Amino acid sequence: MHKIVLIPGDGIGPEVTGAACRVIDAAGTKTGVNIDWIKCPAGAEALQQGHDDVLPQVTLDAIAEHKVALKGPVTTPIGKGFTSVNVQLRKKLNLYGAVRPVRNLSGVKTRFTDVDLVIVRENTEGLYSGIENEIVSTPGASVVTSLKIASEAASRRIAKFAFEYARERERKRVTVFHKANIMKLSDGLFIRCSAEVAKAYPDIAYDERIIDAGCMKLVQDPNQFDVLLLENLYGDVISDLCAGLVGGLGVVPGSNIGDEVAVFEAVHGSAPDIAGQGVANPLAVLMSGVMMLNHLGETDANAKQAAEKIKHAYNAVLDEHTTVTRDLGGTASTAAFTDALIQRL
């Protein structure tokens, strides 16, 4: 029995996590993987339940205790209000490495074929420090500052994480995107640490791209990239850009990894524009669930088998293309797509 913390989240979160859990449980029944989902609140849901914090201590404690979580997206107010739950969660649990595999799926037609790259994002520093000040508040002449933090320890840690990931998965190249021509100290430190760490991995090629030119190359010819190593903000932006290369946010999973704990979640947000309509694509959360099962598979061979079963099921349903959600060009509801996946297991 695996005890997994489940954070349904906001907006489409409960719809897509609910669907993903149905598929994971069905695959578990067939392969002998038992999951006890421990539902914990975060975001608006936490406030609705009467907690006085969007990231209640009870949720943090549960993740720290059980070590693994599957998380739905959480809404963050724009330009005001509380600090992002995601930023807090990643910092408080020291989930320093985000891993986001971006791959073409045969049943999802896009401009490109054979895209197969992995984004490794530093999750704890950069402009997401949340340290912002209004230094002049005169109406019409306001001036604010946002502090970008880069430490040698965190930069080395994420570089080592990216190279270890690349070596384990027999990846050939790690490319850092940066803007060290302008942010000479912060991005300069990030690439200096990356280049130093790279020396310990002579089997993996290493290169650096200035991010603006890197973006142009990504949209022209993504197949030239393998593992992308990025500081926090660049990792956030490039993740969505790369999702666009392979069919959108509905098909890109992710994980947030620390030394003790792992939280699996899709790249996408709470999609308020389609929340409650039953049309969201649950695949990105389900694929994050597959990453979670593979993580559990390090100690439970049945979990790896369940992951494989789910992969075969979604590839078959996508290839058939009769029951897919709106974002993938179909008309199926979240529930109908989920039923089709379960039938295919």
Catalytic center residues = 128, 179, 212, 236
* Neighbouring C-alpha atoms within 13 Å toward the C-beta of 11: 20
Q: Does 73 bind ligand NAI (CB under 6 A)?
A: yes
Task: Name the residue number minimizing CB distance to ligand NAI.
Answer: 269
Provide the angle, in degrees to the nearest 10, between the axes of the packed helices 334-344 and 13-31: 10
Q: Provide the token pair at 157.
A: 């840690």
Query: CA-to-CA distance for 311 and 103, rounded, in angstroms?
Result: 13
249 binds ligand NAI (CB under 6 A): yes
**Which string of DSSP letters, residue by residue, matches 96-139?**
-EEEEEEE--TTS--S-S--EEEEEEE-SSBGGG--EEEEE--T
Q: How far is the CB of 268 from ligand NAI (least distance, A)?
A: 3
> Judged by CB under 6 A, which of 4, 6, 7, 16 binds ligand NAI?
16
Does the footprint of ligand NAI cover residue 269 (CB under 6 A)? Answer: yes
Task: Using the minimum distance from each CB to ligand NAI, give the nearer residue, 118 or 193.
Answer: 118
Residues 101-160 that bind ligand NAI (CB under 6 A): none
Work out whether 250 is an interface residue with ligand NAI (CB under 6 A). Answer: yes
Among 79, 273, 298, 299, binds ligand NAI (CB under 6 A): 273
Choice from 4, 19, 62, 74 touching ligand NAI (CB under 6 A): 74
Beta strands in 211-303 (DSSP E): 227-230, 255-257, 262-265
Spatial distance between the Cα atoms of 266 and 107, rounded to a whole number of angstroms: 19
Q: What is the phi/psi pair of residue 124, to 5°? A: -120, -10
Q: Using alpha carbons only, give the angle 78, 82, 85 rounded to the nearest 5 degrees.
A: 95
98 in contact with ligand NAI (CB under 6 A):
no
Least spacing, CB of residue 139 vs ligand NAI, in Å: 28
Contacts of 300 (CB under 8 A, 6+ apart): 2, 33
Interface with ligand NAI, residue 274, by CB under 6 A:
yes
Per rule CB under 6 A, count of chain residues that contact ligand NAI = 21
* C-alpha distance from residue 10 to each of 15, 252, 341 (Å): 9, 18, 24
Please pick, from the candidates 103, 121, 179, 268, the single residue that binds ligand NAI as defined by CB under 6 A.
268
Q: Tell me how far apart the terminal alpha carbons of the chain are, to the nearest angstrom.
A: 21
Given the rule CB under 6 A, which of 33-41, 217-225, 273-281, 292-300 is the region that contacts ligand NAI? 273-281
Question: Residues near 34 by Cβ (< 8 Å), separated by ≥ 6?
Answer: 1, 2, 28
Binding residue (CB under 6 A) for ligand NAI from 5, 257, 271, 317: 271
52 lines the binding site for ligand NAI (CB under 6 A): no
Work out whether 281 is an interface residue with ligand NAI (CB under 6 A): yes
Binding site for ligand NAI (CB under 6 A): 12, 16, 73-76, 86, 249-250, 265, 268-274, 280-281, 284, 327
